[in-house]
Structure 1
Amino acid sequence: MSLVARIIAEDAIAMEQLRAVRELDLPDWCIAAGFVRNRVWDHLHGIVPARLPVDIDVIYFDAGDVSRESEAEFERRLDGLLPGQPWQVRNQARMHVWKELPPHRDTADAMIHWLESVTGIGVRLEACDTLTVIAPLGTDDLLNLRCRPTPYGRTRRHEYDARVEAKRWRELWPKVEFLD
């Protein structure tokens, strides 16, 4: 089991959230972004238990239904399973539109077009209760406490810089090195 998977597996709250999302049976799904990044960085900084996420980014890929209404329905269903959680469900089959990119092929392809290397990492709880880590850009930066813009993020450097500042990552995780 990878270190990322082990950190998530040892977090009872994370596992409960993953079990709830698995109930939806979404195609090509995972919980990504801060759900993984923050827990791993908390672990590497000795913060136990991990701080609760501001939002829970559930992503999936379904080119057959790109309606915002379906995402909202999945959020309602998750709220029924685990009430009061900050669910955010997004179909990656429609995310290319506002980024003015060609259509994504799948969830991993969409994650390549996120702003920073450490955010494009997700986990999925399989039917057999094993965790699959989806990391199209790898996990080295995350595990080595490095943050840098992705190639896509370099084209939107002002957005990357503003995001790092707004989320207070330097303050929350002082051991993280921010690279260009």
Structure 2
Amino acid sequence: MRADALRWHLLGIVETLCLPDCWIGAGFVRNAVWNHLHQGAVAAPEGDVDVIWYDPDCTNAAEDRRLEDHLKTLEPAIAWSVKNQARMHRRNGDSPYTSATDAMRYWPETATAVAARRIGLDGCEIAAPYALDDLFNLVLRPTFRFRAEKRAAYEDRIRSKGWIGAWPLLTMA
């Protein structure tokens, strides 16, 4: 993350929010790793930059929108998406999540269930409830909910994202 100036900068911006259990996740980390492993140039984050945080005492969606607006004033070129994971279980039909990392266990792919946060000038912490093997080994594997119950949604997602074309070394598990 430190080697990617834009991502490092964005992690620093999010750190200034001082939100509890706060991370930037999903494609922000996944795509950076896949680009690196495909020996591609460092590329700006594509699509939304997914900021996740966890505070069960502040589950009003309006707070997420306020944070998005604030982030847009700090870095307007970025498509910020902010979601307090303490309320997202309702939208997803899951049991309540206990942390941001717990919420990531319900994301579609193991390689996507990863997030980073900056700690001070030089520190970076990674959250990965399914570990990092699939991400670094370029394996697309559905998480438990998407193996059977939501398999069609997982397969549609893989096709619609065009990941195999963009990163041809990916394999499906």
Native 8 Å contact 2:164 2:170 kept in 1: yes
User: Does 1:162 find its partner at 2:141?
Assistant: no
Residues 62-84 of structure 1 show CA distances to partners (whole Å, capped at 9, x for unaligned) of 11111110000000111111112
Please give the alpha-carbon distance, in whole angstroms, between the structure 2 residues aligned to 1:52 and 1:75. 16
Residue in structure 1 matched with residue 16 of structure 2 by the alignment? 23
TM-score (norm 2): 0.96
Residues 24-53 of structure 1 show CA distances to partners (whole Å, capped at 9, x for unaligned) of 111101100000000100000011122432
Name the aligned partner's letter for residue 168 of structure 2.
P
Native 8 Å contact 1:43 1:50 kept in 2: no
Please give the alpha-carbon distance, in whole angstroms, between the structure 2 residues aligned to 1:52 and 1:136. 22
Please give the alpha-carbon distance, in whole angstroms, between the structure 2 residues aligned to 1:84 and 1:76. 12
Q: Bigger CA drift: 151-160 or 48-57? A: 48-57
Residue in structure 1 matched with residue 84 of structure 2 by the alignment? 91
1:66 aligned counterpart, secondary structure = coil
TM-score (norm 1): 0.92
User: Does 1:178 find its partner at 2:172?
Assistant: yes
1:50 aligned counterpart, secondary structure = coil
Please give the alpha-carbon distance, in whole angstroms, between the structure 2 residues aligned to 1:64 and 1:124. 22
User: Does 1:144 find its partner at 2:168?
Assistant: no
- Give ranges in structure 1 of 5+ residues lacking alignment: 1-7
Please give the alpha-carbon distance, in whole angstroms, between the structure 2 residues aligned to 1:129 and 1:26. 19
Please give the alpha-carbon distance, in whole angstroms, between the structure 1 residues aligned to 2:52 and 2:42. 25
Please give the alpha-carbon distance, in whole angstroms, between the structure 2 residues aligned to 1:25 and 1:35. 19
- Give ranges in structure 2 of 5+ residues lacking alignment: none
Across the aligned residues of Structure 1 and Structure 2, the Cα RMSD in angstroms comes to 1.0
Please give the alpha-carbon distance, in whole angstroms, between the structure 1 residues aligned to 2:73 and 2:15. 14
1:63 aligned counterpart, secondary structure = coil
Name the aligned partner's letter for residue 169 of structure 2.
K
Ranges of 4+ aligned residues in structure 1 off by more than 3 Å? none
Residue in structure 2 matched with residue 47 of structure 1 by the alignment? 40
Residue in structure 2 matched with residue 153 of structure 1 by the alignment? 146
Residues 99-118 of structure 1 aligned to structure 2 (within 5 Å): 99-118=92-111
State the aligned residue count. Answer: 172
Residues 73-126 of structure 1 show CA distances to partners (whole Å, capped at 9, x for unaligned) of 000111111112110001100111122111100001000011110110000101
